[in-house]
Every structure is written in C-alpha cells, then in structure tokens.
Amino acid sequence: MTDRGPLTAVSPLDGRYARYTEPLVPYASEQALMAARVEVEVEYLLALADLDATPFAIEGEDRDHLRALYENFDGEDADIVKQLETSGYKEYSATNHDVKAVEYFIREGLPEDLDVANWIHFGLTSEDANNLAHRILLKPAVEDVLVPQLRTLRDELTALARDHADLPMLARTHGQPATPTTFGKEMAVYASRLGRAITRIERAAGELSGKLAGASGTYAAHHAAYPDVDWPSFSESFVQSLGLEHDPLTTQVNPCDDLGTVFDALRGANSVLLDLDLDMWLYVSDRYLGQEAVEGETGSSTMPHKVNPIDFENSEGNLSKANSDLGFLGEYVTTSRLQRDLSDSTVKRNMGASLAHCLIGYRKLETGLGKVTPNEAVMAEDLQANPEVIGEAVQTILRREGHGDAYEQVKALSRGQRATLDDFQQLFEELDVPESVREELSALTPAGYTGIAADLADVE
C-alpha cells in the first residue's frame, strides 16, 4: 500500500475524523511546529539586530524577506526542513536535530546581501525556541478553535434552557423519582457550568509563559558575549512580543506549569460535557428526548427501527480519551530530571492529538444537541405516574403549620410504595388544618411542583 491519505492514516484523528480535526492543522501539525520555530528564530534574529550592542542591523526589505520565511511557510518548506533533519539537503548533512534543521533552513533563506548567518540561534538552546513555538501554537489553538466551539455549545444549551424553561420533568436523584424540575432548568445548569469552565480556559491560555534564558536558564552564553546587556529585560521584551508572559526563572526547560494549568482547565470543561453526554443519553433512553431520524441513515445493522444516540456516545468516548491524555500531559510535562531531560519532547508532540479529541467531542455533542426534541407527552406521563414526589411539598407545608410529625406522616404513606393522588387527598381530609391549607395541599400536582425552575432557566 503506497497511497497515503485519510484511509491509510495510523491515527483516526487524521483518518476517519480528519474533517473534524482540520481546523487544528495550522496549530497542531508537524509543519505548523516547524513554521513556529522559524518564527521564533527569525524574530529573535531581528531583536538581536535592534540591540545597540550587536554589530549588525537588519532593515526594510530584508526584515520583510525574513518574516516571509514563516509567514509564507508551506509544504515545500516543510519538506526542506525535514530533509535537513533526516537525509541532508544541498551541502548540509542530516542534522538528526529538528531545531538545528530550522536554523539551516533560515540560513538558506537569508537575503543574498545579508551576512548574519552566525547570529541565527545566537546563544540559544533548542528549548528556548521549542517552548516558545509550542506556546504560540497552543494559545490560538485553544482561543481560536476550541473556545469558540465551546461557546457554540453553551449557546445551544442556553437556547434549550430558554425554549423549555417551563417544561416540567420528573427529576431523579440516586436514580429514583424526585422533586420535579424543568428540562430548561437542567440545560441551564450545564450552560452555567460550561460558561465558568470557558472563563477558566481563557484565563489559563492568556497566562501562557515562555522562557529565553539559555542552556541552564542563566543567560550564560549571552552574558559571556555581551556582559553589559540586560539580558533578562531583553528576554522579557522578546517573549512578550510573541504574545506570551515571561517566565524569568527556569532551568534549561520552561517548567510548563502554565501548560499543566491549560490542560487542567480543558479537562474541567470536558468533565462538564461528559456529564451532559451521560444525562442526554439517559434522557434518550427514558424517551424524555426524541431524536431526529436522518433520511438514509442506519441506526442498527440488524434492527431497522433504531435511532441510536451515537453522537453523545461518540462525544463521550472522545472526551474521555482527551481527559486521559490531558491528565497524562499535565503530569508529565511539569517534571524534568535536574536541569533537563528530553523525555518531554516526544510527549509534547501529542498535545495536538489531545486537542483534536476535545474538538471531535465538542463537534459530536453539538450534532447530538441539534437532533434532540423534548418529548412532552412522555415527561407528563411520567410525572403523573409518580405523584409521591409531592410528598416533600406536603410535609414542608405541614411543618410550616406546626405539625411536628409531618415528615413521618408522609413517609408512612409513600416510602417504598406507590402512593396515588387519592391517597394524598385522603391524608389531607384527615389532617387537622385550616380549610385554606387543605385547599393549598389539594392543589399540589407533580407537574406544578417545579419551584422557580422556569426563572432559573433564564441564563445569561
């Protein structure tokens, strides 16, 4: 098999689900990482040129030419970088080093009259380029791809909450019939939770921080060459110019606590949505939700009648995989033996895969939400079949009226057995309460006992 395409991809992220993960390609692919490294190295070269201490300058068209190396970086450029690393290119032998390959790529791309090859990667260690490159990719991947998709989900949940704010529905606590709620209010709970999770993700992405401090984090090479330059200030200014916060105190590696915070924030949002996936699956199973049957689709290879909740199930699977990977990443990348070990390098290459599983999970959940319709008749039937849920209201009103044994009276009537509205009416007739209270109790119904759920469903 020589043809390479989605159907021959080793990972389903680039195969079966490629149409879902495509928005992450500019941030999560090998080519994207190459381009980001070129960006860091070029901008660093330009920043060096702007220092009074360095004996060279880069002006006008030469600056534009250099920036075009990453702004116009394409597949052919990526092939050259990969050749430089693995097989050699022109007079260069194979580097077997991905960052050194980027350095040589920039050398090859220098304007003919610009003699600055010796200043490319000046005083840097590979981690200086890599930690910044990973973050200038992760930040937009989260902010421009994942967060907008999460906001779409929140908007859909908000719409469901408002559209069905006053639709009464039997609640279940511990899997048993419980005080009624409304379908809208339950969707509002998820909208609210997701909104807080999004805020947390945005905060974490906004606080991504980079380092540029040399082989052991001491600016040793920079200081040896130019001891009078304030390199920490230079580093801070440069890192901030890339849209990142500056981490001033590191080893060779950026400690990556900031990455761990992002991964944890994403896991938090995913956990909310996993909870939603499970609830929606159960609502479909209980027939509280109907699903739109798409013409031509097959629900089961043997049972023609089935419309399975596959989108919620797919979302659940992908978000579970994402959370497993994000947990591993957050734990792994925040540790390094002494000043540096390289085991995190291959691990960080999987950040994009974790984001991809997130994105698939979000997209599938969006599809699932778009297919469901509340089955009001089934919800009403279930409420009518469980009149014992008004027992809470009955015993609370009786407590208000001074009945110390109110809870016990209702418990004797209803716990572990089916109680009908007629049973409650008989209890009301036997109670020593004013007629107005008896009428108040007699007016109670499961469908009407939803408190202020409808108001709560009006989320921002």
Residues 442 and 293 in one domain: no
Nearest by Cα to 291 from 271, 324, 313, 316: 313
Residue 9 included in any domain: no
The stretches of 286-333 forming alpha helices (DSSP H) are: 310-332
Residues 133 and 277 in one domain: yes
Catalytic residue among 93, 174, 305, 436: 174
Residues 84 and 137 in one domain: no
DSSP one-letter code for 210: E
Residues 140 and 46 in one domain: no
CATH number at residue 425: 1.10.40.30
Q: Is 300 one of the catalytic residues?
A: yes
Q: What are phi and psi of 119, to 5 degrees?
A: -95, -10
pLDDT attached to residue 304: 41
Residues 104 and 198 in one domain: no
pLDDT attached to residue 239: 98
Give the domain extent around 53: 19-119
CATH number at residue 230: 1.20.200.10
Residues 177 and 318 in one domain: yes
Give the H or E element holding residue 246: strand 245-246
The tokens for 230 are 């304030």
Residue 13 included in any domain: no
Residue 3 included in any domain: no
The tokens for 91 are 């007079």
Residue 5 included in any domain: no
- What is the CB-side half-sphere exposure of residue 389 using CA atoms within 13 A? 25
Per the structure, the count of domains in the chain is 3
As a whole number of angstroms, the distance between CA 347 and CA 404 comes to: 63
For the CA atoms of 194, 200, 127, 59, what is the dihedral angle to 10 degrees?
A: 100
Residue 2 included in any domain: no
As a whole number of angstroms, the distance between CA 2 and CA 150 comes to: 38
Residue after which a domain boundary falls, among 62, 90, 119: 119
pLDDT attached to residue 160: 97
CA 444 from centroid of its chain's CA atoms: 43
Residue after which a domain boundary falls, among 349, 380, 411: 380
Is residue 256 classed exposed, middle or buried when 0-12, 13-18 and 19+ CB atoms within 10 A define those classes? buried
As a whole number of angstroms, the distance between CA 187 and CA 209 comes to: 36
As a whole number of angstroms, the distance between CA 397 and CA 383 comes to: 21
Residue pair 164/187 in contact (Cβ under 8 Å)? The answer is yes
As a whole number of angstroms, the distance between CA 323 and CA 272 comes to: 11
Residues 289 and 415 in one domain: no
Residue 186 included in any domain: yes
Residue 206 included in any domain: yes
Give the H or E element holding residue 190: helix 183-206
As a whole number of angstroms, the distance between CA 188 and CA 154 comes to: 9
Averaged over successive runs of 10 residues, the pLDDT of the chain (460 residues) comes to: 68 88 94 98 98 96 98 97 96 95 97 95 96 98 98 98 97 95 98 98 98 96 97 98 97 94 98 98 95 58 57 97 95 88 85 96 97 96 94 91 83 78 87 91 95 93
For residue 36, CA distances in Å to 45, 288, 308, 382 come to 14, 49, 43, 57
Residues 94 and 223 in one domain: no
Catalytic residue among 87, 285, 300, 343: 300
Number of neighbouring beta carbons within 10 Å of residue 95: 18
The tokens for 97 are 């080093």
CATH number at residue 108: 1.10.275.10
Residue pair 87/22 in contact (Cβ under 8 Å)? The answer is no
Residue 11 included in any domain: no
Residues 142 and 72 in one domain: no
The tokens for 104 are 């040589």
pLDDT attached to residue 4: 67
Residues 44 and 132 in one domain: no
Is residue 171 classed exposed, middle or buried when 0-12, 13-18 and 19+ CB atoms within 10 A define those classes? middle
The tokens for 418 are 């089916």
Residues 242 and 370 in one domain: yes
Residues 138 and 212 in one domain: yes
Residue after which a domain boundary falls, among 380, 398, 424: 380
